[in-house]
Chain A
Amino acid sequence: MGARNHQEIPQERRYLHFNTGLIGVAKMKVVVLGAGVIGVTSAWYLAKAGHEVTVIDRQPAAALETSFANAGEISPGYSSPWAAPGIPVKALKWMFMEHAPLILQPKLDWARLSWMARMLMNCTADAYAVNKSRMVRLAEYSRDCLMDLRAETGISYDERTQGTLQLFRTEKQVARPRRILRC
């Protein structure tokens, strides 16, 4: 199943990173606020572009907050918005399950209400399609960048490139994958 590698990526979507000579970049002093995975990758590429970079973070080291112990998947295939057709009804069901995947604490504040309202507005088929296309574009590009970064630096992080498996326990779940991927 090695099909996923560069053979899968059309030629025009393959990129050479660095060594491409970023001609005409004015060297700047750049401060990056936050040393999670996003701040550190930003700092890395900014430094590679020739900028003088300082990263500021409240923690004693990098990746000690949300980047610390996530589920570990690098998953362009599942890069979909949570806001999707049918989700409002499903969300209600999830909240009342044993071992609930969704928990809504009853405290309500304005920021949360307005965020949830905007999420509901994104649950239309049209909005979902637009949002998903943006996410998949960035996620696939990101995996390509990561491959190049590995090749360039030899960075290791208990990585595996064996795909992921979504497991269904009911026939109803089995019937859904094509819809999940397509819509």
Chain B
Amino acid sequence: MLKADGVPFEVLDADQCVAAEPGLASAKAKIAGGLRLPGDETGDCFKFTQSLADMARAAGVTFRHGISIDRLEAEGGRIVAVHTSAGRVVADSFVLALGSYSPMLAAPLGIKLPVYPVKGYSITVPVVDADRAPVSTVMDETHKIAITRLGDRIRVGGMAEIAGFDMSLSPKRQATLTHSVEDLFGGAGDQSKAQFWCGLRPMTPDGTPIVGRSPIQNLFLNTGHGTLGWTMAAGSGRVLADIVSGQRTEIAAADLGYARYLRDGRKGQRQGSGAALPA
């Protein structure tokens, strides 16, 4: 097994690609080769999150849904409450995990989060011919599209559209996703039943999410995960919880937080007192 930066990988020729993903057999002529990362996993982020929320609820977590968040109320260098459509909610500590919408809540507090929405699209189709379907994730490097088997469905996702907070669904983008999956796994899924979707990835300019403390003592940040929110969710949640609890994190986390922008930042948000911000 070859390794780069500790990540195991295998370089495959076309035959080996088909051996790993038999559904590619009829597309073999289009394949020049592949790179397999055996340490990667796949799964449905929605199902995971809903199940974990149910478990958290059973463990005593309160979920207040259907409530819009207006602003954070600061007093004496601390956040004392969050103002919502259901009134003012007080707490000892607050965690900002609003993805692309995080900067709007932080900005009035003088915290400029460099998080910008990058729109992605997906289609989800039911499998009609399992022999032609992917068994895991296949990334079409040419189109930068990932095709993933999720149980009895195929998820096809990709593209990066820089269009602010626009959530419109253009048929042209769907055509790109359909083209990629039909080209490689033709006939595997029922395209007439495709569910078309878009989402706003909260991207930072340096790719790393913002996990940890903010310049306000009891406000914590867990945002800016870009395309890797699903990949990094469990670890980010654990690191964040350890920092909130004042526990030592299990991995180095000082450079995952907002402080790195105060230190590395070349413009805009240099703050005299910020440089000594702990992890």
| Chain A residues within CB distance 8 Å of chain B | 1, 3-4, 8, 15, 17, 22, 24-26, 28-63, 65-83, 94, 99-105, 107, 109, 111-112, 114-116, 118-119, 121-122, 127, 131-146, 149, 153, 155-171, 173-174, 177-178, 180-182
Q: Is the CB of A142 within 8 A of B51?
A: no
Q: Which residues of B contact A (CB under 8 A)?
A: 1, 4-9, 11-12, 17, 20-21, 24, 30-53, 55-56, 59-69, 82, 84, 89-100, 102-103, 105, 114, 116, 120, 122, 124, 135-146, 148-151, 153, 155-164, 166, 173, 175-176, 179-180, 184, 195, 197, 199-203, 205-209, 211, 222-223, 225-242, 244-247, 250-252, 255-256, 266, 268
With A101-B159, A138-B256, A157-B47 as given contacts, are A73 and B238 in contact (CB-CB < 8 Å)?
Answer: no
| Residue contacts A-B, CB under 8 angstroms, 23 given | A1-B38, A33-B96, A33-B105, A43-B237, A45-B238, A56-B89, A57-B63, A67-B46, A69-B157, A70-B155, A72-B150, A75-B228, A99-B176, A101-B159, A102-B160, A116-B205, A145-B237, A163-B20, A165-B17, A166-B139, A169-B32, A171-B32, A178-B4
User: How far apart sit A46 and B266, CA to CA, in the bound complex (Å)?
Assistant: 34
Q: Are B157 and A70 in contact (CB under 8 A)?
A: yes
User: A73 touching B230 by the CB < 8 A rule?
Assistant: yes
With contacts A35-B53, A160-B43 known, what are 17 further pairs, Cβ within 8 A? A8-B8, A28-B244, A29-B91, A31-B82, A38-B225, A68-B197, A69-B155, A70-B157, A71-B120, A77-B40, A79-B231, A103-B161, A105-B164, A116-B205, A118-B205, A166-B139, A168-B141
Given contacts A135-B208, A155-B51, contact A45 B240 (CB under 8 A): yes
Given contacts A30-B244, A48-B59, A49-B245, contact A70 B229 (CB under 8 A): yes
Docked Cα-Cα span, A78 to B253, in Å, equals 20
Most central of A40, A72, A107 by chain B CB within 10 Å: A72
Contact between A173 and B142, CB atoms less than 8 A apart: yes
Q: How far is the CA of A159 from the CA of B216 in the complex (A)?
A: 38
